[in-house]
Structure 1
């Protein structure tokens, strides 16, 4: 099956992937749906079959990026021993940064976009990650789970900045 004949579910995923890459590299405001379409090897009007607006496309891209982080953290929570939980969550996030840096760049940009839809997608993602980590820390009887969760999230933000600015020294211990 050629790329033009791919089922529409796959096309939607391909459009979201193209949007993640395009928005991360060019910036949401500078990127156009024509550039996303070109990257996805489709016509621009085809994007609007799935997403009524550029903002809706960004929201879908953010949702996909958060889903990957959450799935990664859930796998760790399900398998890690309590004494290894935090370090395995950190390792999982470092793998995400290495494998999906454009998704993190996209999320960093989205934090500055004054749209209720985008802000809600970001709040939902952060809330879900926080709850997964906090519940896991509580279940593992990690002392001061709220504080440890706060530090874990802060470390994640510092990891994002370190990656975005190409400053690995920010993460040196």
Structure 2
């Protein structure tokens, strides 16, 4: 990859990072590409060089947030002993949630955006996580893997809400 290609990839990543921050702080509908550009320290036309629409930018931001969770979980699933699998997945998600809070807020908001492409991106992210965790729970011999997977996902959602509304007692075990 040449220097200009590397710079373009880095700038695109900067734009997506700025979009995650701006969308999570202001909400998708209130946020503008001008605000994203300002946060990324670039011009608004440069945002459109990479993303034709604000929706495409949001879809990429959602994909980045799901990829982080999926790749992190994949590492746990591939290496964790069966007896600690669920606890390690919970700890991993708590770590992601704390380090990448804006991504979790973005996902929370995206669940309520009714545009079909955004709904599909959210369905796909949940589907991949669910399938991975369910398969891992089956392979680990965890009792009631379907129910445990549902509870695992529900717990993650509740933790997101607890952080968003600053109510940590919802996360107590």
TM-score (norm 1): 0.96
| Residues 21-75 of structure 1: per-residue CA shift (max 9 Å, x gap) | 0000111111100000001111001111111100000000000000000011011
- Distance, in Å, in 2 between the alignment partners of 1:101 and 1:74 is 20
Aligned to 2:165: 165
Aligned to 1:79: 79
Q: What pairs up with 1:110-121 in 2 under 5 angstroms?
A: 110-121=110-121
Give the unaligned 5+ runs of structure 2. none
Q: Give the alignment's Cα RMSD to 1 decimal.
A: 1.3
Deviation at 1:79, TM superposition (A): 1.1
Deviation at 1:172, TM superposition (A): 1.6
Aligned to 2:146: 146
Give the unaligned 5+ runs of structure 1. none
Aligned to 1:92: 92
Matched residue count: 170
Runs of 4+ in structure 1 off by over 2 angstroms are none
Deviation at 1:165, TM superposition (A): 0.6
Deviation at 1:6, TM superposition (A): 6.5
Give the SS at the match of 2:42: coil
